[in-house]
Every structure is written in C-alpha cells, then in structure tokens.
A and B are shown apart, each in its own frame.
Chain A
Amino acid sequence: MAQLISRLRLWRGAVLLLAGLYFLVPMAASVWFSVDDVDGISFDAYTGLLSAPGFTDSLVLTLELAAVTVVVLLLLLVPAMIAVRLGAPRLRPVLEVVCTLPLVVPPVALTAGLIGVLRWGPDHLMDTPFFQTFVFVQQPEFPLVLVVAYVLMALPLAHRALDSGLRAVDVRTLVEAARNCGASWPRAVLSVVVPNLRGALLNAAFLTLALVLGEFTTASILGYQPFAVWIYSVGNSRGQMSVAVSVLSLLITWVLLLLLAAAGRERRHKTATA
C-alpha cells in the first residue's frame, strides 16, 4: 500500500513537473527575450512602447471597441435571458440556438460573410439611403462593423456565463417578491435581479473584454488597426517590442482573472457566512 502511494506520488510529480516546464519555459523565455540586449539587460522594449507610433491610437480604438461591445452585448442579452426565464419560456430554444450558432461559423468565415454583405453596398445600393448606412458602419475612426462581429463572437461565451449565473438565483421568486412589495417591472429587474447577477455579469464582461483585446482575424482582414493588428505590424520590424507587448497582455489577462476569482471567492464567503 505504502509502495503504491509513493508510486502514485512519483507519477503525479513527474506529470506536474513536465507540464510546468512546458508552460513556464515559453513565458520565462519571452520575458528574457524582451529584456535581452547585447550589453546586458535593457528595458527599452517596454519604455519605448509609449512613444512608438500608433501605440496610443490603436490601444484607444481597441478599448473603445471593447467598451461598446460589452455594453451592446449585455444590453441585448441580459433582458432577453431574464425575459425567457420569466415570461416567454417558449422562446428559450430560440435563444439557445441564437447563442450557439456563432460557434459554427469560424471568425474567418464570418469575416468573409461580412465582406460579402458590405460589397452589396457599392454593387446594388449605391442610389438608396441604405448606402449611407454602409459607409457609416465602416468609418475608420470607429468601425461599427467590428462591434457587430465581436458581439456575435462573444455571444456563446457571455450566454454560458450568464446562464450559470441565472441558474444560481431563483429569478422568478425574486421578481415576485419585489412585485409584491410594489416595485414596478423595470425596478424589480434592475434593483433586485441584476445585483444578484453581479458575478455572472462581471464574468461575461471580462470574457468579452479578453476576446476583443486579442482579436486579430476580423480586424486585420477588414483592414482596421486595433491593438492586435498594431502588434503584428510592429512584430515585423521590431521583434523585441512585440514580445514585450505579448508578455504585458498575458500579465494583464492574469491580473484581471485573479481579480475576478478573488471577487467571486469573497462573494461566496459572504453568502456562506450569512
């Protein structure tokens, strides 16, 4: 028995060690690569970022896109999901299909479809008022077409996050209680249901944010330059800087996720003691 246990520990240790090596070495090597210089260690790749041409513009554009995507996504999805639970259960399968279908279409294919639609503008609708809409969604200062693509790509992720949140609270009882106390419909949903979903909303928002920050496919094919596309163009000329940005982006994702986990734990703790 003791032999078995020690053998098990050995096996487990070996697996964890190998996995640890595979996952930690590229990170360590990236950090080293980004500070490695002919004469020792230099942080130029990091300090030079702020002054690099296009850095601020692309970062601002990405953050704007992320903010708008998160807001649009939640405004569309949350009311629909709550309504389906409260009063329109027959629409539930429809909602699930809507939130699953984007998984079937890879980002590249979605982009191809979007380009196909955008081509209709100049091809067929030149003389109609619709043409202005086509111009509007493609304006380079704020390409709304990217928001459409990102909302679609984030739908499955956000749906799953919100669904697990909604499962954990009894929405119907909460709303009935609020209504019995004289709250109006919007008030019942906004000040009773939504606060109970704080964790799930945060989760959905975070996943969407991570998706938009790293999205490259659609933006690069459509020819816009948010952050990920900028990194790519920098990578061609200044390899060290692109690795530095990769390290930073990994760090930022890490910190955000840890914060999220900490928030979740605190909440769980609170409800457990209450």
Chain B
Amino acid sequence: MTTAPTPVPAPAAADPSGGPGAPGTATAPPTARPRAGRRPRGGAWLATVPLLAFFLVGFGLPAVAILTGAFTVSSDAETGAGSFTTANLTDSVQGAYWTALLSSLKLSALTALIGTVLGVPVAQAVLTSRFRLLREAVLTASGVLANFGGLPLAFAFVATLGNAGELTKLFHLTDHGWSLYSFTGLTVTYLYFLVPLMVLTITPALEGLRLQWREAARNNRATTLQYWRYVALPVLFPSLLGGFVLLFGSAFAAYATAAAMVGATVPLISRQIADALSGNVLVGQGNLALALSLDMIVVAALVMAVYLPLQRRSARWLS
C-alpha cells in the first residue's frame, strides 16, 4: 500500500531473466507489469467469483425453493396447484406440528440452560488447575466431544443407559422408572456434546478475567461470592448469553441423535420435517415440509441475530 512511490527495479528487470521463476506470466503482459504493481487492481474480485457463484446456486436455489414452496399449493393437491397460499404455514403451526415445535424449543432451551450452568464451573475448574497437562487434555477432549454429535453419540448412550445398556443392567435402572427414550433421556444425551461446547466457548472469556480484578475486590473485603456476583458475572454476561444461544442453536438443529435414539416418542420439529419429506403427510400437504423448514429457519435466524452481535461484543471486551 505504502510502497507505491518507491522505485523498485525488480519486477521489470527480473522479468526477462526470471522466466523459469515466473511461469505464470500470463496474468499480466510483460509491458504492463511495472505498472500493474504489487496489488491486483480490480482483478482481485475475480477470485471470489467461484465461491459466490457456488453459493448462489447451492444455497440460493434451495432458499428460493423453500420460500416459494412454503407459500404455494403443492402439485399433489386436487385444486389450485401452484397458486399462492398461506395454508402450508398455518398448518405447520397447528396440531402435531405445533406440539413438535414447542417440544423442540423446550428441549433446546432446557439443555442449553443446563449446559451453560454446568459448563462454566467445569471450564473454571480446568482453567485454575495447577496441572497444565490436565488443561490441555480437557480442552482437546472438549474439541472432540463437542463434535461428537449424531449417531455415535446415540449409540454410545444406548450402550450405556438404554434398555440393555451396561449401567441400566448394573443398577437395574428400569425398575426405578428410567428410560433413555424419553425427554429426560434425550436431555442427558444432548448435554454430552453441549457441555464441552460451552467449555470451548466460555474458556477465552474466563481467561480474560484479570487476576487484578479479583485482588482488587478482595482488597475491598469482597467475599468470593460478592466478587462473582458484582464483578465476574457482569463482565462474563455477554459471553454467557452468547454461549447459551449457541448451545440452543446446536440443540435445535440436531437431528441424527434423536432420530436414532428416541424415534417418535419425543416429537421434534426436525423429525417432523424428515417425515414430511419422505411423503408421510396428508394429500395436498406436499409443501408442508418446506413450511416447517421455514419455521425452523425463522427460529434459527432469531438465534443468530442474538448470537453474532454478542460474540462480536465479547470479543472486543476480552481482547
């Protein structure tokens, strides 16, 4: 940027002799090179074209399909196929679909709340530990476990707490009314990847708490509780809320774990969409899956609208 006025003989001089070193001279004709400078002028945006084109086709077309599909009568309807309607959307927030949406929201909110409340002490305990190896091990493990969603997670929990699971057999849990294939069971399972996700998210924020703040609080005779109540938690609040929202979003979007584990016993919106996509709907409701998807996107968009500003804000605070 600042080098423009400096006379640099290299590019022009090196060009004829440096042939083997510069096989890609096709980008600029030799005569134009000294002036072409060291920055691409105008040409740089060309490198973003493939990505944007891919995105427009791969993401834009499905988005259009959802938007238009959610508002049109499906082709399997008896009358008025292709015409505008809001019936899909009103159907998607009624009856069994409304129950599923509420149940999804409830599960996501509950697991995100528990995950936040449990994740912070774990992260704090790990951070303040004297053993560096333990810290690194836990952070690496959190990275693995936070990505350990989906099927393997479901199978691991079926093997542990399912009807024939090892712990269930060992403690005769079924006699005490335990069932993994329930709302509670799903909550316990989801926490297995949500707590590590929270540990990963909150660790930078906890690292940003200065020791001096704690010392200052103690010098003013604040108790540990008061320090957390009046100093640490207010500073951490944006990060905590951001973490909660991130957990909520992950739990809300999850599909595979619930599909493999509980089947239809716990109604979830993601499962309803999958069901509707495989044709499991009434005649004329062919576009219902798209309307349900739109519902889900609206919720996820609200979540992101809260999360992104918070993330930016906490990043500024703790740098």
Asked if B22 and A183 make an inter-chain contact with CB atoms under 8 angstroms apart, the answer reads yes
For B22, give its contact among A79, A175, A182 (CB under 8 Å): A182
Using C-beta atoms within 8 Å of the partner chain, give the interface range for chain A: 35 or more
Which residues of chain A (86-124) have a CB below 8 Å from chain B? 86-88, 91, 94-95, 98, 100-117, 120, 123
Mark interface residues in B34-48 (1 if CB within 8 Å of A CB, else 0): 000011111111111
Determine if A161 is an interface residue (Cβ-Cβ < 8 Å). no
Q: Which residues of B contact A148 (CB under 8 A)?
A: 54, 58
Contact residues in A for B149 (Cβ distance below 8 Å): 214
Binds B, one of A49-57, A194-202, A227-235: A227-235
Q: Does A29 touch B at the CB level, under 8 Å?
A: yes
Which residues of B are found within 8 Å of A111, using beta-carbon distances? 277
**Contact of B255 with A108 in the complex, beta carbons under 8 Å:** yes
Residues of B within 8 A of A186 (CB): 24, 27
Minimum CB–CB distance for A245 against chain B, Å? 8
A/B interface sample: 21 pairs, CB < 8 A: A8-B128, A12-B125, A33-B160, A79-B51, A87-B43, A103-B300, A106-B296, A109-B300, A113-B62, A116-B62, A179-B38, A180-B11, A183-B21, A185-B28, A207-B147, A220-B274, A235-B155, A243-B156, A245-B152, A246-B152, A258-B140
Cβ–Cβ < 8 Å partners of B113 in chain A: none
Chain A neighbourhood of B15, CB < 8 A: 182
CA distance A228 to B260 in the complex (A): 11
Given contacts A16-B126, A116-B290, 15 further A-B contacts (CB under 8 A): A4-B224, A12-B125, A15-B125, A22-B191, A27-B156, A29-B160, A30-B160, A83-B45, A86-B39, A108-B255, A180-B38, A184-B27, A239-B155, A245-B155, A246-B156
For window 167-199 of chain A, which residues contact chain B by CB distance below 8 Å?
Answer: 172, 175-176, 179-187
Asked if B317 is at the interface (CB within 8 A of a chain A CB), the reply is no
**B289 and chain A: residue at smallest CB distance:** A112
The digit string for A34-60, where 1 denotes a CB below 8 A from any CB of B, is 101000000000000000000000000
Q: Is B144 a contact partner of A113 (Cβ separation < 8 A)?
A: no
A87: chain B residues within 8 A (beta carbon): 39-45
Chain B residues closer than 8 Å to A179, beta-carbon distance: 11, 38
CB distance from A120 to the nearest CB of B (A): 7
- Looking at B24, B145, B249, the one whose CB has the most chain A CB atoms below 10 A away is B24
| Contact residues of B: prevailing secondary structure | helix
Q: Is the pair A80, B270 in contact by a Cβ cutoff of 8 Å? A: no
Q: Can you list, as one digit per residue, whether each of B54-92 has a CB less than 8 Å from chain A (1) or not (0)? A: 110011011101100100000100000000000000000
Instruction: Count chain B CB atoms within 10 A of each CB in A91, A103, A112, A239 and give the residue with the most.
Output: A112
Q: Which of A120-155 contact B (CB under 8 A)?
A: 120, 123, 148-149, 151-152
Which of A61-69, A247-255, A266-274 lines the interface with chain B?
A247-255
Chain B window 132-165, contacts with chain A (Cβ cutoff 8 Å), 1 for yes, 0 for no: 0010100011011101111111011111110011
Within the complex, which residue of B10, B54, B152, B293 is in contact with A76, where a contact is CB–CB below 8 Å?
Answer: B54
CA A147 – CA B40 in complex, angstroms?
31
Chain A at the B interface: SS class: helix
**In angstroms, how far is the closest chain B Cβ from the Cβ of A223?**
9
Residues A185 and B27 in contact in the complex (CB < 8 Å), given A102-B59, A116-B290, A180-B8: yes
Q: What residues make up the interface of B, taking CB atoms closer than 8 Å to A? A: 1, 3, 8, 10-11, 13-15, 18, 21-25, 27-28, 38-48, 50-52, 54-55, 58-59, 61-63, 65-66, 69, 75, 118, 121-122, 125-126, 128-129, 134, 136, 140-141, 143-145, 147-153, 155-161, 164-167, 191-192, 195-196, 224, 249, 252-253, 255-256, 259-260, 270, 273-274, 277-278, 289-290, 292-294, 296-297, 300-301, 304, 308
Interchain CA distance A215-B147 in the complex, whole Å: 11
Q: Is the CB of A106 within 8 A of B252?
A: yes
CB-CB nearest in chain B for A246: B152
Bound-state Cα–Cα, A30 to B152, Å: 10
**Residue of B11, B224, B277, B300 touching A112 (CB-CB under 8 A):** B277
CB of B79 to closest CB in A, whole Å: 18
Q: Cβ of A187 and Cβ of B24 under 8 Å apart?
A: yes
Could you tell me which A residues sit within 8 Å of B by CB distance?
Answer: 4, 8, 11-12, 15-16, 19, 22-23, 25-27, 29-30, 32-34, 36, 75-77, 79-80, 82-84, 86-88, 91, 94-95, 98, 100-117, 120, 123, 148-149, 151-152, 172, 175-176, 179-187, 207, 210-211, 214-217, 220-221, 228, 231-232, 235, 239, 242-243, 245-247, 249-250, 253-254, 257-258, 261
Inter-subunit contact B260/A235 (CB<8 Å): yes
Which residues from B are CB-within-8-Å of A12?
Answer: 125, 128-129
Across the interface, name the chain B residue whose C-beta is closest to A102. Answer: B59
B48 near A95 (CB under 8 angstroms)?
yes
